A and B are shown apart, each in its own frame.
Chain A
Amino acid sequence: MRRSIALCRRGLRSYCTDAGDGFQSSKLKIFDRHLKRVQRDRAAWLMKPKDSLVDTVAENLLDRLEDCKRTFPTALCMGGSLEAIRRLLRGRGGIEKLLMMDTSCDMVKLCKDAEQQTPNDNIETSYIIGDEEYLPVKENSVDLVISCLGLHWTNDLPGAMIQCRLALKSDGLFLAAILGGETLKELRIACTVAQMEREGGISPRLSPLAQVRDAGNLLTRAGFTLPGVDVDEYTVRYSSALELIEHLRAMGETNALLQRSKVLKKDTALATAAIYESMFGAEDGTIPATFQIIYMTGWREHHSQQKAKKRGSATVSFQDLQKQFGSSGGC
Chain B
Amino acid sequence: MVRFGRILLKDGAVGINKKLLEYLVCPLSKQPLRFCEKTNSLISDSIGVSYPIVDGVPRLVPTDGKIIETDDALISGGDLPKT
Name A residues whose Cβ lies closer than 8 Å to a Cβ of B. Answer: 1-5, 7-8, 10-17, 34, 37, 74, 99, 103, 105, 108-109, 112, 124, 126-131, 134-139, 141-142
Contacts and interface: CB of A to CB of B under 8 A. Distances in A.
Interface of B: 17, 19-20, 22-28, 30, 32, 47-49, 54-67, 69, 73-74, 76-77, 79-80, 83
B72 to A, nearest CB: 9
Given A7-B48, A128-B24, A134-B28, A1 B60 contact: no
Nearest to B72: A4
Given A99-B20, A136-B24, A11 B69 contact: yes
Given A8-B69, A14-B65, A16-B62, A136 B77 contact: no
A12 B67 contact: yes
Contact of A16 (B23, B47, B63): B63
B64 A129 contact: yes
A15 B66 CA distance: 6
Given A4-B73, A5-B77, A7-B73, A15 B49 contact: yes
Contact of A4 (B20, B26, B64, B77): B77
A109 B56 CA distance: 11
B69 A129 contact: no
Nearest to A74: B23
Nearest to A129: B59
B54 to A, nearest CB: 7
A131 B28 CA distance: 11
Contacts of A4: 47-48, 73, 76-77
A141 to B, nearest CB: 5
B60 A15 contact: no
Given A10-B67, A99-B23, A137-B24, A15 B62 contact: yes
Contacts of B74: 8
A73 to B, nearest CB: 12
The 5 closest A-B pairs by CB, nearest first: A134-B27, A136-B60, A136-B27, A15-B65, A130-B60
A134 B59 CA distance: 12
B67 A108 contact: no
A128 B58 contact: yes
25 contacts: A1-B79, A7-B47, A7-B67, A8-B67, A14-B64, A15-B65, A16-B63, A74-B23, A103-B61, A109-B55, A129-B58, A129-B61, A130-B61, A131-B60, A131-B61, A134-B27, A134-B60, A134-B61, A136-B27, A137-B25, A138-B22, A138-B25, A139-B30, A141-B23, A142-B23
